[in-house]
């Protein structure tokens, strides 16, 4: 499995004072030095953390794979077609939410999802839909032409260590296998941390995990490089059973 690092919360901290520290581009460079598989940023409609300039600057870094998370709006489609990130992950967005609370309803807006995806694929941008582990949503994505889904691991992360963990984990695993049987490649993310990430190895053929909050939180104490290296080891090393 590969690790993609989401650096949105470096920008959250920067924006708290409205200045230039901590520098998002420096965070991207450290990610690059740690050889992460991709750098993820979510350009939200309200620009609450990452700004357009951040995305443009990260895109210009050589040998960095940029995964741009964005809502399924015309504004974001235009930005992606102009900036041409290596990948986009299409997410739902509500202004009031603290973070991306659930997966996107692709089934309920399939026609727009197909129209949205087509020009991106034509520009060789890899497209992924961020969805809940739900068979209806998976089959909807399989009709869009997008090669990837990213499974929302929020419910699993919340249930980790509780009575409900096994049931939620089985749902996640079943959804990943179901999607792979449709020919989709499967990423996962949201709420993963240094403890709950280990079970992701029990899910076959996951390609990449996108992790942000726990890495940036740990970086406050041990530094970003160390925090990434520790997570990278957990993600890339198959544990001995």
What positions carry a catalytic annotation?
42, 69, 190
The 213-232 contact track toward ligand PXP, x by CB under 6 A, reads xx------------------
- Write out the binding residues for ligand PXP, residues 14-73 only, by CB under 6 A: 42, 69
Cβ contact 235:5 at 8 Å = no
As a whole number of Å, the CA-based R_g of the chain is 17
Angular region, 55: left φ>0, alpha ψ -120 to 50, beta rest: alpha
Q: Which of 50, 91, 146, 235 binds ligand PXP (CB under 6 A)?
A: 91
Q: Which is nearer to ligand PXP, 88 or 240 (CB)?
A: 88
Residue 155 binds ligand PXP, judged by CB under 6 A: no
60 three-state secondary structure: helix
What value, to the nearest 5°, has the Cα angle with vertex 227 and ends 225 and 229? 65
Minimum distance, C-beta of residue 168 to ligand PXP, in the bound complex (Å): 16
Give start and end residues of each alpha helix (H) in 126-223: 135-142, 154-159, 165-181, 213-222
Q: Which of 45, 78, 99, 118 binds ligand PXP (CB under 6 A)?
A: 99
The 108-147 contact track toward ligand PXP, x by CB under 6 A, reads ----------------------x-----------------
The token pair at 231 is 């997570």
Looking at the DSSP assignment, which residues form a beta bridge with residue 70?
90
Number of residues engaging ligand PXP in binding (CB under 6 A) = 19
Using the contact rule CB under 6 A, the part of the chain among 54-62, 109-117, 206-214, 232-240 near ligand PXP is: 206-214
Handedness of CA 100, 106, 108, 109 (dihedral sign): positive
Q: Name the site residues for ligand PXP (rule: CB under 6 A).
A: 6, 8, 42, 69, 89, 91, 99-100, 130, 150, 189-192, 210-214
């Amino acid at each position: 499995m590969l690790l993609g690092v989401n650096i949105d919360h470096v920008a959250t901290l920067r924006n708290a004072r409205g200045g230039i520290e901590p520098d998002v581009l420096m965070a991207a460079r450290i990610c690059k030095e740690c050889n992460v598989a991709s750098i993820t940023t979510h350009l939200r409609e309200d620009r609450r953390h990452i700004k357009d300039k951040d995305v443009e600057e990260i895109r210009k870094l050589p040998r960095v794979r940029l995964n741009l998370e964005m809502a399924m709006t015309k504004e974001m489609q235009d930005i992606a077609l102009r900036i041409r990130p290596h990948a986009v992950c299409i997410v739902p967005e509500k202004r009031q939410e603290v973070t991306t609370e659930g997966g996107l309803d692709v089934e309920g807006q399939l026609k727009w999802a197909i129209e949205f995806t087509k020009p991106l694929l034509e520009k060789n941008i890899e497209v992924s839909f961020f969805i809940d582990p739900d068979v209806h949503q998976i089959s909807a994505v399989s009709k869009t032409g997008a090669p990837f889904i990213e499974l929302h691991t929020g419910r699993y992360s919340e249930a980790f260590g509780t009575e409900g963990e096994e049931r939620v984990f089985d749902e996640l695993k079943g959804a990943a296998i179901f999607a792979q049987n449709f020919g989709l490649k499967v990423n996962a993310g949201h709420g993963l941390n240094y403890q709950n990430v280990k079970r992701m190895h029990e899910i076959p053929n996951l390609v990449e995990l996108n992790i942000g909050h726990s890495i940036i939180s740990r970086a406050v104490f041990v530094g970003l490089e160390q925090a990434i290296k520790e997570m990278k080891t957990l993600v890339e090393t198959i544990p001995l059973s």
